[in-house]
Amino acid sequence: MDRGEQMSDLFAFNGAKGAGWAQPKPSIEREILISLIPKKLRRKSLPKWPRASEPEIVRHYTWLSNRNFGIDNGFYPLGSCTMKHNPRVNEKIVQLPGMDKIHPLQPEHHVQGLLAIYFEMQEMLATCSGMDQVTLQPVAGAQGEFTAIRCIQEYHRQQGQGHRSKVIVPDSAHGTNPASASMCGYDIIEIPSGDDGRLDLEALKSAVGDDTAAMMITNPSTLGVFEHQIAEAAEIVHSAGGQMYYDGANFNAIIGKTDPGRMGFDAVHYNLHKTFSQPHGGGGPGSGPIGVKSHLSQFLPTPLAGRRNQVEADPKGVDDGYWYFWQDVGENSIGKVQQWNGNAGAVVRSWAFYRRYGKELEKMSEHAVLNSNYLRHRIMNPDPEIAKKIHVMPLNGAPADLVMHEFTLSLTPLKELHGVTGKDVAKRLLDYGVMAPTLYFPTIVPECLMIEPTETESKEVLDKFASDLHKILSEDPDLVTSAPHTTDVKRVDEVWAARNLILKHPGNESGQ
């Protein structure tokens, strides 16, 4: 069977030259313009881009979209990714000219509205996290980590502690944590988790020392359990002279209940694309603001949004009594991590999202945790009739009564008894019309499925997922190991891709 023939090939259209999308003519004749370019600098042949008309392009990308699965298509229980519904008004807001047609270097009196939103977001994030100052400049979670570790690095240097060369991360940490610290030049010390999947304080005690720069940790952990000894951990790191860094990937679990400030952290990043519903867009854009305690704020990237009381001489602002401005952080600032002021569009979307909850953000976290616990319970406690049919049940990734916004399952028994791996079950779930959970992470849970339902899923969706998973656990193992069966393509050969490295199309050859 060759379904390749039916594929839509962008480079195979044969539209008339330049007819794809008509533009006005240049205001000077082409020949004159070309003659003005020094000969050596002229392009010799055009890139082999597609030649197609608008209807062909629209149909091509619509066809592609039909071969893609988003939250809008169905349940997306991707652990640590917080795949919640993305309110559509947010998309409309960022297309307003007052957002889309703004240059980051326009004078402040042109952008009072944008600055007001920036300021409100800085304040809101600081409030929710117990931090003193927030910057919205980092454009992804990983860049937030990098930025905060850079600030901590400069802080140590200023304190005459530049010799501190090590960053501690638990073995359950997101891969970006060690990667970000390593990019700053730090050596990484990975400490093993305890038997309950939680932080092992004894391991931490033996890891800290005069060379400790920081510890990076997320709470709740990637196993979805709350590190109840976090304050003690912070105490251990602080007394060794290190700083505490909070990976905010799991922030959706705790808003209004506790915060990194109370836990003893010095710096935190937020993933606006997780907690605050900036759409994931197939891999980005994200936004990774960071918040810090006051001793680190002089090192933040520049500028920040600031405000003062409006005075009569000021031009018209946004009628809230304040004048907003870009505030230079000063000579100790690490400078820039993104060339402008961050992903403003993501900031504005997240602002619109947060306004929907306001002071009830706490309810959002409550429902995220409720859904997670409910789903875990449904999965682990099948009805007796169904239980009889299940070959073997998964194990809890962490032996906790309660989990937070996500949880992990280990499919080791199934693999050992029937040769069905976590990956097989994940692929089979795709046949049931849902996205697979995060697979094989954290690595400390063998054959791990990491499941995060978020607050935007109904009880019925959760019931159905549990029931689908039970069905899969009862199915003929051959059916599961050969899954998926109903998707646009069958199981994809990733090894072949890496061996052959076909990273581009030959391109459109017509007209060359």
* Residue 255 in contact with other proteins, rule: CB under 8 A: yes
* Residue 124 in contact with other proteins, rule: CB under 8 A: yes
For the bound state, the minimum distance from the C-beta of residue 318 to other proteins, rounded and expressed in Å, comes to 5
Are 472 and 428 contacting, i.e. CB atoms less than 8 angstroms apart?
yes
Q: Which is nearer to other proteins, 133 or 265 (CB)?
A: 265
Mode of pairing for the β-strands spanning 290-292 and 322-327: unpaired
For the bound state, the minimum distance from the C-beta of residue 478 to other proteins, rounded and expressed in Å, comes to 13
For the bound state, the minimum distance from the C-beta of residue 157 to other proteins, rounded and expressed in Å, comes to 11
Question: What are the backbone dihedrals phi and psi of residue 324, each rounded to the nearest 5 degrees, phi first?
Answer: -100, 150
Are 249 and 144 contacting, i.e. CB atoms less than 8 angstroms apart?
no
Q: Which of 228, 190, 249 is nearest to 400 (CA)?
A: 228
Amino acid symbol at 148: A
Determine the 3-state secondary structure of 201 from DSSP: helix
Q: Which is nearer to other proteins, 263 or 473 (CB)?
A: 263
Q: Which is nearer to other proteins, 320 or 416 (CB)?
A: 320
Q: Which is nearer to other proteins, 476 or 493 (CB)?
A: 493
- Omega of the bond leading into 303 within 30 degrees of 0 (cis): yes
Are 60 and 10 contacting, i.e. CB atoms less than 8 angstroms apart?
yes
Q: Which is nearer to other proteins, 33 or 417 (CB)?
A: 33
Among 81, 215, 237, 240, binds other proteins (CB under 8 A): 81
For the bound state, the minimum distance from the C-beta of residue 241 to other proteins, rounded and expressed in Å, comes to 20
* Residue 197 in contact with other proteins, rule: CB under 8 A: no
Among 197, 345, 382, 394, binds other proteins (CB under 8 A): 345
- Residue 410 half-sphere exposure, CB side, CA atoms within 13 Å? 15
For the bound state, the minimum distance from the C-beta of residue 244 to other proteins, rounded and expressed in Å, comes to 13
Contacts of 385 (CB under 8 A, 6+ apart): none
Kindly calculate the radius of gyration of the chain based on its CA atoms and give it in whole angstroms: 26
* Residue 330 in contact with other proteins, rule: CB under 8 A: no
* Residue 321 in contact with other proteins, rule: CB under 8 A: no
For the bound state, the minimum distance from the C-beta of residue 298 to other proteins, rounded and expressed in Å, comes to 16
Q: Which of 237, 230, 231 is nearest to 213 (CA)?
A: 237
Dist CA 210 CA 239 (whole Å): 10
Are 164 and 156 contacting, i.e. CB atoms less than 8 angstroms apart?
yes
Question: Contact letters (x/-) for other proteins, 15-54, by CB under 8 A?
Answer: x-xxxxx-xxxxxx-x--xx-xxx-xxxxx-xxxxxxx-x
Among positions 419-458, residues that touch other proteins (CB under 8 A) are 426-427, 430, 435-436, 438-439, 441, 455-458
For the bound state, the minimum distance from the C-beta of residue 359 to other proteins, rounded and expressed in Å, comes to 4
Longest CA–CA separation in the chain, Å: 82
Among positions 216-245, residues that touch other proteins (CB under 8 A) are 225-226, 228, 230-231
Among 99, 380, 386, 392, binds other proteins (CB under 8 A): 99
Dist CA 279 CA 88 (whole Å): 10
Locate 448 and state its tokens: 């791990």
Q: What beta strand segments (E) does 77-193 contain?
A: 133-135, 166-170, 187-191
Locate 129 and state its tokens: 């996290």
* Residue 213 in contact with other proteins, rule: CB under 8 A: no
* Residue 500 in contact with other proteins, rule: CB under 8 A: yes
Dist CA 335 CA 312 (whole Å): 33
Contacts of 143 (CB under 8 A, 6+ apart): 288, 337, 338
Q: Which stretch binds other proteins (CB under 8 A): 91-99, 235-243, 383-391, 469-477?
A: 91-99
Q: Which is nearer to other proteins, 407 or 417 (CB)?
A: 407
For the bound state, the minimum distance from the C-beta of residue 345 to other proteins, rounded and expressed in Å, comes to 5
Question: What are the backbone dihedrals phi and psi of residue 433, each rounded to the nearest 5 degrees, phi first?
Answer: 80, 20
* Residue 489 in contact with other proteins, rule: CB under 8 A: yes
Locate 75 and state its tokens: 């349940």
Burial class (CB in 10 A: 0-12, 13-18, 19+), 33: exposed
380-418 burial: b if 16+ Cβ within 10 Å, else e: eebeeeeeeebbebbbbbbebeebbbbbbbbbbebbeeb
* Residue 250 in contact with other proteins, rule: CB under 8 A: no
Among positions 260-299, residues that touch other proteins (CB under 8 A) are 262-263, 273, 279-286, 288
Q: Which stretch binds other proteins (CB under 8 A): 110-118, 205-213, 240-248, 473-481?
A: 110-118
Q: Which is nearer to other proteins, 48 or 295 (CB)?
A: 48
* Residue 163 in contact with other proteins, rule: CB under 8 A: no
For the bound state, the minimum distance from the C-beta of residue 147 to other proteins, rounded and expressed in Å, comes to 8
* Residue 215 in contact with other proteins, rule: CB under 8 A: no
For the bound state, the minimum distance from the C-beta of residue 160 to other proteins, rounded and expressed in Å, comes to 18
Give the number of residues in contact with other proteins, rule: CB under 8 A. 212
* Residue 77 in contact with other proteins, rule: CB under 8 A: no
Among positions 352-411, residues that touch other proteins (CB under 8 A) are 352, 354-364, 366-367, 369-371, 373-374, 377-378, 400, 402, 404
Q: Which is nearer to other proteins, 24 or 321 (CB)?
A: 24
